[in-house]
Structure 1
């Protein structure tokens, strides 16, 4: 079986693991560990506190600093309420495309990297090649944050990271951060005929969202003059509002799920401090004037820093040589790249498939994209 067909076979196997972020990824991690060990890699797994999920970190080549990391997340987004034309966890090959949940985002890259492990084992003499496969990227990059701490504790210091998110094999040297929050409102229930006697949590949640929308417009004026992002400013999105039980009942509970994607580090504190001041100075005093026990609390679901473009970037140089690309770009979507950059690594995002196919029904990756990725990795093997 040639390398491309082997990669396709591995991808089919990986898609069959239903590693939705809310569920365990242990079976897939065990299979990845087995494959890499067969190729001669030194493999370690790091479990989450509950023991239900794990990160994998494997190394081929000499035990020394300065290695190159190939990184991908094992989890996928849910398929609930999506109209798939086939079983999302049984890969289908049709018209030179591979359909299935995770084919594009991002088990295609994982399959390509693992398929190349035997060649890396033959070639890696002067520089180690590392494999980093994580959990819960789709819900706040939780696994990658834990993995970085594990690597720091062990004194493992790679120099370069290639994050294989779907970029159509373009080099991405920067992306925005992603900060997700849930704000909960607790008011006082009552009969809808006497709204002044209760504290309507839904109404205060609506006012909170209105403030977020005002800030969204303000952020447009804070865009750096040289921003390469599209849009060039920090964005805010209200993802969901929940609350209330009936037309004639004053709602005593409500929640707002919202996010922002900072284009510069200073925008995060700017938004958080403004919203907290609005809560403390305006909303809460009005709520507590009616009911002293009213509350508004914000839970941080995840705060992931962006990937900052840097003047010198060894990862960018290496991948440009491997792919023949003469340029690089920035994107609005987030990845784990900034987390690895925080270790002092030079990092780029480059992988097979298009982000346009991610998270959708009938997600797919073009076979030609996998072939291009394998070509890049084969050239990388020649540089180890």
Structure 2
């Protein structure tokens, strides 16, 4: 049997397994190498291993490792992919862990391959004979793009843990609520022509100008009608992120696209947001028949909320606050939590590192996270699998 790596070694090997997810085919990679590496390690610790190909993807896989038997238990979950990187902005090789200034630098150290290195070290001390409930480890694919891995896993309903912890970087502060995310492209079809005769064409940019005005009014309605003070940005948000139209200064613009991003509060459905968007654009659609349309850019990610159950001694909200020493909070970004929650388990987002490091050049995981994360994971395993 090959000796299992220590924390630094396992982190280094995980980061070296490139598994970038991107909507750009030139960047997008499979994740089988990192999945097989995790499978090898956890199999040595006595876990039963199940690797599943994620449907409708190219070389993308989920890993589910199970230790012990019975019902319920604890699921420790995370994603195996990373975002792309701009090497010119990194001070070191993103795929090679550098230990410097009490920090581990590398792509995925924080978001979030480092979480699996922590799990591996903690599991070395777990005695399977003492487990009263199973311990699961889940590594998913494509969280950074389509969340296809978590979507597929949530639909299969293969396991029924009592509790799931998703180890995204939260500074070990339990997250029990986050916004949803959806993105759409609004398209305006005009009629191109020579700029010297505007009346012979229809300028798509000018129509898009009116569309933008309607969207700004919609943002104001969001701020007036919806608020959740648990968030530091309490209203739903609408961002106009990218615009493209026309081809030359002396031509009437014949087509214009605007890409927008909508982030909903818990309790708001996708249908509700789309109805608001449709209502906002309806007067312009009637003014300019058959010229304005909008389509989904990517599959939407729902909002997430884990309720607290004051009378339940095993309520993950109370247990997480007690073990972490932090009060639960809400965040504006999206995670895999709503898909994992479909398993019927209490779910929180709780992991080492800061979200401020995620998707950034020179991403790092601080040494100061090591002892705190080890103790937290050990306490969670003891509470939900050994007690």
TM-score by length of 2: 0.88
Aligned position for 1:308: 305
| Equivalent-residue separation in structure 2 for 1:145 and 1:338 (angstroms) | 9
| Equivalent-residue separation in structure 2 for 1:337 and 1:108 (angstroms) | 18
SS state at 2:66 partner: strand
Deviation at 1:351, TM superposition (A): 0.5
Change in 2 beyond 3 A, CA 1:298/1:206: farther
Contact 2:71 2:161 in 1 (8 A): yes
Aligned position for 2:115: 109
CA deviation profile, 1:155-200 (whole Å, cap 9, x unmatched): x211211011111111112111222223333333222223333333
Change in 2 beyond 3 A, CA 1:20/1:326: closer
Change in 2 beyond 3 A, CA 1:346/1:191: same
CA deviation profile, 1:29-49 (whole Å, cap 9, x unmatched): 111112111211111122132
SS state at 1:271 partner: helix
Aligned position for 1:55: 62
Contact 1:181 1:302 in 2 (8 A): no
Deviates more, 1:126-135 or 1:11-20: 11-20
| Equivalent-residue separation in structure 1 for 2:231 and 2:88 (angstroms) | 30
Contact 1:188 1:200 in 2 (8 A): yes
Change in 2 beyond 3 A, CA 1:200/1:94: same
| Equivalent-residue separation in structure 2 for 1:263 and 1:96 (angstroms) | 38
After TM superposition, the runs of 4+ consecutive aligned structure 1 residues lying more than 4 A away are none
Task: Give the number of aligned pairs.
Answer: 371
| Equivalent-residue separation in structure 2 for 1:246 and 1:277 (angstroms) | 33
| Equivalent-residue separation in structure 2 for 1:79 and 1:115 (angstroms) | 28
Deviation at 1:268, TM superposition (A): 4.3
Change in 2 beyond 3 A, CA 1:206/1:144: farther
| Equivalent-residue separation in structure 2 for 1:235 and 1:36 (angstroms) | 41
| Equivalent-residue separation in structure 1 for 2:203 and 2:60 (angstroms) | 40
The 5 A counterparts of 1:194-209 are 194-209=197-212
1:132 paired with 2:135, answer no
Aligned position for 2:184: 181
Contact 2:112 2:169 in 1 (8 A): yes
CA deviation profile, 1:48-102 (whole Å, cap 9, x unmatched): 324411111111111x331211111111112137611111111111110011111
SS state at 1:360 partner: coil
SS state at 1:302 partner: strand
| Equivalent-residue separation in structure 2 for 1:217 and 1:230 (angstroms) | 17
| Equivalent-residue separation in structure 2 for 1:36 and 1:185 (angstroms) | 52
SS state at 2:379 partner: helix
Contact 1:148 1:339 in 2 (8 A): yes
Contact 2:103 2:365 in 1 (8 A): yes
SS state at 1:382 partner: helix
Change in 2 beyond 3 A, CA 1:124/1:51: farther
1:90 paired with 2:96, answer yes
Change in 2 beyond 3 A, CA 1:204/1:28: farther
The 5 A counterparts of 1:1-384 are 6-22=6-22, 23-48=29-54, 49-62=56-69, 64-80=70-86, 83-120=89-126, 122=128, 125-150=131-156, 152=157, 154=158, 156-224=159-227, 227-266=229-268, 268-279=270-281, 281-288=282-289, 294=291, 296-312=293-309, 314-323=315-324, 325=325, 327-383=327-383, 384=385
| Equivalent-residue separation in structure 2 for 1:73 and 1:87 (angstroms) | 21
For structure 2, list consecutive stretches of 5 or more residues without a partner in the other structure.
23-28
SS state at 1:193 partner: coil
For structure 1, list consecutive stretches of 5 or more residues without a partner in the other structure.
none
SS state at 1:116 partner: helix
CA deviation profile, 1:321-378 (whole Å, cap 9, x unmatched): 433x252222222211122223321111110001111111111110111331112122
RMSD over equivalenced CA pairs, Å: 2.5
Change in 2 beyond 3 A, CA 1:74/1:207: farther
Deviates more, 1:182-191 or 1:239-248: 182-191
CA deviation profile, 1:274-301 (whole Å, cap 9, x unmatched): 322344x33334444xxx6x45231251
| Equivalent-residue separation in structure 2 for 1:12 and 1:350 (angstroms) | 22
